[in-house]
Structure 1
Amino acid sequence: MLLHHDLQPGHLLREPAGPRLLIDWELATFGDYLSDLARLAVRLDLDGPTPVLALASRPGPTTETRLHLYWRIHLLADTARSTDRVVRKRAARKLL
Structure 2
Amino acid sequence: MAETEPNRVQRNETLLRIFFLGNLTHKQAADYLRQEAEVIRSRQQILDHVENTADWERDDIAVYGHLALEYGHRLMAMNLEWTDWAIGQLDARPARADESG
More strand by share: 1
Same fold (TM over 0.5): no
| Greater share of helix | 2
* Interval containing the TM-score (normalised by the shorter chain): 0.3 to 0.5
Under a length normalisation based on structure 1, what TM-score does the superposition of the two structures give? 0.35
